[in-house]
Structure 1
Amino acid sequence: MLLAKLKRLIPSAVRLRWLLAILIALTIIFWKLVPEVAVAQIQTASPPQQPLQKSKTQTQPVSSSIQPYLDQAIKRVTEFRLDNGLKFIVFERHQAPVISFVTYADVGAVDEPDGKTGMAHFLEHLAFKGTTRIGTTDYKAEKPLLDRLEQLNTQIKAAKADGKQDEVAQLQAEFEQVESQAAKLVKENEFIQIVSQAGGDLNAYTYLDKTVYPYVLPANKLELWMSLESERFLEPEFRREFYKERDVILEERRLRVENSPTGMMGEKFLDTAFKVHPYRRPGIGYEKDIRNLTPKDVQEFFDTHYIPSNLTISIVGDVNPTEVKQLAQIYFGRYPAKPKPIEEIPVEPPQAQIREVTLRLPSQPLYWEGYHRPAVTHPDNAVYDIIGSLLWVGPTSRLYKSLVEQQQLASDVDGDTNTPDNKYPNLIVFLATTASGHTIDELAAALEKEIDKLKTEPVSATELQRVKTQIRAALLDNLNSNMGMARRLSEYEAKTGSWRNSFKYLDEIAAVTPADIQRVTKATFTAENRTIGKLLSQ
């Protein structure tokens, strides 16, 4: 999903440059920490990480050719909230007999306590294992086996701690026998098969701030989705294949981190840039934590965070809002209301001096440079997006033209305006690979010069208009997608308090001035706010 966001700037005839671009892509994937999905893929772009509030400069209207479209779109949106607190957003779009669904859980890796990282991602995997009725041939026979596996897992941990190796071996043998018996009662991927047989697809992904479950189904399968999705979180059975899935996730981590120079560097970089905020931790979790997680841990995490008032469901496509509301009350109205969890996430203190981390691994030299920036709800978010577009988006961007084409110091340049996520203050990050014969220090010095130009030289009207046009085109493309709209509406609702803010973004971009860019650049890109990461060849 995030690969769609990467800038494909490298000439296809140069094989080496393609490989370097892939390395940078892997780095950004690690930072965003999108897990491997154990379900069918939906080929849609990831939810936009766009500015949400008005710029401090005077707002300018979007062009007359776009505003009527936005006005009409807003009129087709219906919203309602069930008595238990669950919010629904329905967007009617009858061009094709299909519907996109997004269940947005306002929970991610940031909500995990230290020592139990990886639960949000783990739960996303387990959410497709089924319920007491789906995914099993005989739950009455399966349940005592799952109970016994939990008991044995606890006993094995205790025996290992006491150094009782003979007892560990005996318990492990019984564990494997019971696990084999339980596996015979599992209807593998039944949940996915039901959706597939109905002509649909589904997916799931976890970020630091959110967990999202998107679906696409034919328009006549609305009630099927209501039944399946409500059942999945009403009576889930997270213990089914729990230990098998744990091994899958551990292998996933090995591939993405331990066996990946960019993965290792990404983890070290974030741990250096953040000192107290959970953004310092990998969304997939630490290996030790994942290995020690229990079904009870995941169930308690689910019970705390997967409550109606913490969920937003958006439905976009060929639907009738009245029917949606009626079915939602029948199926999702069964959820008991619970109070929202109290947020206990520490605030990251201002960075007072430059930070640096260096690793030597068998890899092409890569350079990271990050600066702390405000959360997505800050009034200057549009300015940060403009800065990113000016510097690294596309072959006409400043860094590509200067560092790659003119000075030939870099083989590729890229960046991200919200690393690793955007609900809380985060980082704007630059990435670059060195060209043959040049060093990371040369590249860093050239990057600093380009950043300084933004501080001292006002951006021309022509260049500013070009990047605004690029951003507008990307946004309109997103709005024309059922899934893109479903994801956008739910995310804006959860992060800003209203889906309506998603339609204000063009005005935010239009309002950005050269003076705004200079002001934000001077305040953000300072030496004391800088974190540097150097991945050097071994």
Structure 2
Amino acid sequence: MFHRLAALTTLLATALVLGAPAAANPFETTLDNGMKIIVKEDRRAPSVVHMVWYKAGAMDEPDGVSGIAHMLEHMMFKGTETLGPGEFNRRVSAVGGRDNAFTSRDYTAYFQQVPPEHLEQMMQLEADRMANLKLAEEQFLPEVEVVKEERRLRTDDNPRALLFEQLMATAFLSHPYRRPVIGWMEDIETYTMADAQRWYDDWYAPNNATLVVVGDVDHQAVIELARAHYGTIPSRVLPGRRIPAEPPQRGPRNTVVRAPAELPMVALAWHAPTLRAPTQDEDAYALQVLSSVLDGFDGARLPRHLVREQEIAVAAGASYGGTGRGPSLFLLMATPAQERSVTEVEQALLAEIRRIADEGIAEDELRRVVTQAVAGQVYKRDSLMGQAMEIGFLELAGLSWRDEEALLDGIRRVTADQVQDVARRFFDPDMMIRAELVPLPQSTTTAARVSPLLRH
């Protein structure tokens, strides 16, 4: 659901997965009702991944119902006009498959992985809940409690998650990325079934959905199945997307989170460009490489210098996604070692950026980053789920699976001078967003909350 602090660059991972030579290029069409269909034939294993992606995530939510996209995701498993609660999962399991769903700031997606002969049944099930979801109070109210428990477990009882939640709320004043995907607890507590129904009615339409199928299939047969099951669902007029732009940052921002924890932590962020034009946005590629130089492999600068050599931190890293429907941040984060202070690790993080800005990086270091990234992604070429995930992610981020060569070329074009240039330009201390975790004593009576009802 939430973004990982990836060790390898998102764009390079995407490009390598999509560029794997063992599978054919995808086939794409659009049904008469506006639903996009993308099929990639990969016959190396008798399996198929079936995914439906809706262009509706946390960024589309109105104020006051933060997290309703995630709440509706839960309710999608609670039954339709013809299926009872939990029946969807049972039918997938009965054919030897697996299924789940996830919500992000940009989208909500549902998937099943099954033997190919059961693909049509998955389409029947997914099309049914696209058109015929049945919400009931006896299912809705208990699921609100499940979501509240999920928030407690994953955020309220997790000091690192609390820190990054507060960082996002500080980095964005207007843009909806400021809200957590799971929602603020105060909003979750006031959900009504009408809120969930409205979200479903607004966004769960075929003309707001993309079907991705990857596996041991014939693309023409898949498209015909999609036309038979999804093509009969009428399109709907979608609400206008009035996503507020983020106003210019006028100076440094700072926030402090006090929570039970063993060690403090500091996270530093700067607004950075999001890749929109794969053949032109050179800064985005250079920032991706910079992120990997700092934290892209075992010998990267932050873990090597701050953790192993200086022993000033027990963990240190960098993160830059650079893709998505909204704006991007470049993050640095570190947890100081015992007897070392937050100030020390913060200065050490900034010193690593300054060193690259002043001295640049060597050509062999640049090449090593690319080589390490390739090695780290080689096994993903054999993953049907990995291929489907990357196709869907690109499509919902405003890019396309057709951009694979441009993405590869963009990384290949990055020079050491470009990496030094972005290190000089994007890390103004007067534009820094800083979040610090101040540990409070941990209660000896606090036990980890685990609910068997949590799906994710």
TM-score by structure 1 length? 0.76
What residue in structure 2 maps to residue 411 of structure 1? 314
Among candidates 27, 32, 50, match of residue 11 of structure 2: 50
Q: C-alpha separation between the residues in 2 aligned to 1:350 and 1:458?
A: 29
Cα deviations by residue, 1:433-485 (Å, 9 ceiling, x for unpaired): 10111101011111111101121212111000011112223444333311111
What residue in structure 1 maps to residue 360 of structure 2? 458
Q: C-alpha separation between the residues in 2 aligned to 1:456 and 1:468?
A: 22
Q: Is the 8 A contact 2:27 2:38 kept in 1?
A: yes
Aligned to 2:230, the other structure's residue is in SS state helix
Q: C-alpha separation between the residues in 2 aligned to 1:71 and 1:51?
A: 15
Residues 384 and 286 of structure 1, relative CA distance in 2, 3 Å threshold: same
What residue in structure 2 maps to residue 489 of structure 1? 391
What residue in structure 1 maps to residue 298 of structure 2? 395
Answer yes or no: is 1:93 the counterpart of 2:54: no
What residue in structure 2 maps to residue 108 of structure 1? 57
Q: C-alpha separation between the residues in 1 aligned to 2:3 and 2:308?
A: 23
What is the percentage of aligned positions where both structures have the same residue?
34
What residue in structure 1 maps to residue 443 of structure 2? none
Among candidates 423, 430, 448, match of residue 528 of structure 1: 430
Matches within 5 A, 1:249-328: 249-328=147-226
Residues 4 and 285 of structure 1, relative CA distance in 2, 3 Å threshold: closer
Residues 310 and 69 of structure 1, relative CA distance in 2, 3 Å threshold: closer
Matches within 5 A, 1:5-24: none
Aligned to 2:225, the other structure's residue is in SS state helix
What residue in structure 1 maps to residue 341 of structure 2? 439
Unaligned runs of 5+ in 2: 441-456
Aligned to 1:388, the other structure's residue is in SS state helix
Q: C-alpha separation between the residues in 1 aligned to 2:243 and 2:208?
A: 16
Larger Rg: 1
What residue in structure 2 maps to residue 383 of structure 1? 286
Q: C-alpha separation between the residues in 1 aligned to 2:208 and 2:4?
A: 28
Amino acid of the structure 1 residue aligned with 2:270: Y
Q: Is the 8 A contact 1:351 1:528 kept in 2?
A: no
What residue in structure 1 maps to residue 69 of structure 2? 120
Answer yes or no: is 1:368 the counterpart of 2:267: yes
| Cα offset, 1:389, TM superposition | 0.7
Q: C-alpha separation between the residues in 2 aligned to 1:307 and 1:111?
A: 15
Aligned to 1:203, the other structure's residue is in SS state strand
What residue in structure 2 maps to residue 231 of structure 1? 128
Q: C-alpha separation between the residues in 1 aligned to 2:17 and 2:173?
A: 43
| Cα offset, 1:327, TM superposition | 1.1
Q: C-alpha separation between the residues in 2 aligned to 1:72 and 1:243?
A: 47
Q: C-alpha separation between the residues in 1 aligned to 2:285 and 2:379?
A: 18
Q: Is the 8 A contact 1:472 1:506 kept in 2?
A: no
Q: C-alpha separation between the residues in 2 aligned to 1:192 and 1:439?
A: 49
| Cα offset, 1:108, TM superposition | 0.6
What residue in structure 2 maps to residue 472 of structure 1? 374
Residues 418 and 286 of structure 1, relative CA distance in 2, 3 Å threshold: same
| Cα offset, 1:504, TM superposition | 3.2
| Cα offset, 1:6, TM superposition | 5.5
Task: Choose between structure 1 and 2: higher helix proportion.
Answer: 1
Q: Is the 8 A contact 1:376 1:425 kept in 2?
A: no
Residues 506 and 76 of structure 1, relative CA distance in 2, 3 Å threshold: closer
Q: Is the 8 A contact 1:488 1:502 kept in 2?
A: no
| Cα offset, 1:51, TM superposition | 6.8
Q: C-alpha separation between the residues in 2 aligned to 1:52 and 1:484?
A: 10
Amino acid of the structure 2 residue aligned with 1:353: G
| Cα offset, 1:376, TM superposition | 3.5
Cα deviations by residue, 1:237-256 (Å, 9 ceiling, x for unpaired): 13260001001111111223
| Cα offset, 1:52, TM superposition | 11
Q: Is the 8 A contact 2:5 2:319 kept in 1?
A: no
Q: Is the 8 A contact 1:131 1:236 kept in 2?
A: yes
Q: C-alpha separation between the residues in 2 aligned to 1:352 and 1:269?
A: 17
Q: Is the 8 A contact 1:52 1:377 kept in 2?
A: no
Deviates more, 1:464-473 or 1:492-501: 492-501
Q: C-alpha separation between the residues in 1 aligned to 2:255 and 2:359?
A: 31
Answer yes or no: is 1:345 the counterpart of 2:243: yes
Q: Is the 8 A contact 2:29 2:36 kept in 1?
A: yes
What residue in structure 2 maps to residue 21 of structure 1? none
Q: Is the 8 A contact 2:334 2:346 kept in 1?
A: no
Aligned to 2:325, the other structure's residue is in SS state coil
Q: C-alpha separation between the residues in 2 aligned to 1:335 and 1:387?
A: 46
What residue in structure 2 maps to residue 162 of structure 1? none
Amino acid of the structure 2 residue aligned with 1:110: M
Answer yes or no: is 1:133 the counterpart of 2:31: no
Q: Is the 8 A contact 1:355 1:532 kept in 2?
A: yes
Q: Is the 8 A contact 1:101 1:483 kept in 2?
A: no
TM-score by structure 2 length? 0.89
Q: Is the 8 A contact 1:100 1:315 kept in 2?
A: yes
* Alignment coverage as a number of residue pairs: 434
Amino acid of the structure 1 residue aligned with 2:196: V
Q: Is the 8 A contact 1:492 1:502 kept in 2?
A: no
Aligned to 1:357, the other structure's residue is in SS state strand
Answer yes or no: is 1:208 the counterpart of 2:127: no
Q: C-alpha separation between the residues in 2 aligned to 1:82 and 1:503?
A: 27
Residues 503 and 236 of structure 1, relative CA distance in 2, 3 Å threshold: farther
Q: Is the 8 A contact 1:115 1:289 kept in 2?
A: yes
Q: Is the 8 A contact 1:226 1:328 kept in 2?
A: yes
Cα deviations by residue, 1:80-114 (Å, 9 ceiling, x for unpaired): 11000000111111111110111111111110011
Q: C-alpha separation between the residues in 1 aligned to 2:328 and 2:411?
A: 20
